[in-house]
Structure 1
Amino acid sequence: MAIGATMHTFEVQLADVDRGVYEDLSLRVAQHPSETDAYMITRVLAYCLEYEEGITFSAGGVSTGEEPAILVKDLTGLITAWIEVGAPDAQRLHLGSKRADRAAIYTHRDPAKLLSAWRGKTIHQAEDIRFRSFDSVFIDEAVRCLTRRNTMSVSVTEGQIYLELNGTNLETQFSEHAIE
């Protein structure tokens, strides 16, 4: 018998000053058995940093052949944003960039290794893809704070992220990278 997903809840207060987005979110996040805690917290942060009307997690929690980890659809069902988490391959980025108006990547992995793996590969409008990475120490500290039921406050100002997760305060600045 296959092991099922573990459900986590996040009560999030989001204040993204950089984008003018202020929301209270109740997220039910299914963690796939193969998904690490670091991947899941990166996925939740990416959801918050990309939050807009129509955003949703993919059905399985992790990227599948048909969908990224997070996507945004308009009212007609068209994909407007393709948001990858972790270490997607160049072919997935190419597909996502072609299928959506915009694409983004959020990772907790070494961005230099990802950029190296993508170098020389065909990626549709690579220069327009937003690629952000989080400091691994920040992600590790956030993972230590995770429980099945989480309260979280995410504030973003001038690229600085202030995270309060279950009573622990963390901060980091995400790094932006250009895909060549």
Structure 2
Amino acid sequence: MAVGAVIHTFAVQLADVDRGVYEELTLRVARHPSETDAFMVTRVLAYCLEFEDGIAFSEGISATDEPAVLARDLTGRLTAWIEVGAPDAARLHYGSKLADRTTVYTHRDPAKVAAAWAGKPIHRPESIVLHSFDPGFIEAAAGVVERRNTMTLSVTEHQVYLELNGTTSTSGIHDHSLV
């Protein structure tokens, strides 16, 4: 954990009807001083929306050779490389070579994020999916984040229903292809 990091706890009730995932999670998330609340919320949502056995947060900003969230199988092999924000093309290229599946969740304008990758070498770009949310959704959630958080996250038909600390919001999950 980075010096000066603030620990946030999320008690999550996850009901992802689309994938048949129903879990109660307790997440301890270290927010680096240079990390925004919007980035942290996107990181927590990415973890929940990609939840599977072997999923974990990386060391965060200090881990230059790992994504924000990753998943490994029982042998330790990297199965999912899950980036958050606006990673550069080189990171996507590297992650796509290491993992079976590469995904990006962004709290930024997806057109601008994807435009930064245009024309750059990325391994298997056709298999990488960029996920975004409705405008204002992440910012609204980031505005109610506290050190201790209760969160109910439901997903059905690519629609996210989020209750965070008593505040409810809804967003679509929009998938963007790199090719």
**Residue identity (%):** 65
How big is each residue's C-alpha offset from its partner over 1:93-131, in whole Å with a ceiling of 9 and x where there is no partner?
Answer: 000000001010000011111111111111111111121
Equivalents in 2 of 1:40, 1:52: separation in Å? 19
Tell whether 2:38 aligns with 1:38: yes
Residue 144 (structure 1) shift: 1.2
Give the TM-score of the pair, scaled to structure 1: 0.96
**Equivalent position SS for 1:145:** coil
Q: Counterpart of 2:84?
A: 85
User: After TM superposition, what 4+ stretches of structure 1 lie above 6 angstroms from structure 2?
Assistant: none
Q: Counterpart of 1:139?
A: 138
Change (3 A) 1:63 1:124: farther
**Equivalent position SS for 2:66:** coil
Q: Counterpart of 2:68?
A: 69
**Equivalent position SS for 2:41:** helix
Q: Counterpart of 2:124?
A: 125
**Equivalent position SS for 2:143:** helix
Residue 63 (structure 1) shift: 6.7
Residue 3 (structure 1) shift: 4.8
Residue 167 (structure 1) shift: 0.7
Q: Counterpart of 1:167?
A: 166
Letter in 1 for 2:71: V
Structure 1: runs of 5+ lacking an equivalent:
none
**Equivalent position SS for 1:174:** strand
Residue 157 (structure 1) shift: 0.1
**Equivalent position SS for 2:178:** coil
Letter in 2 for 1:124: H
Q: Counterpart of 2:50?
A: 50
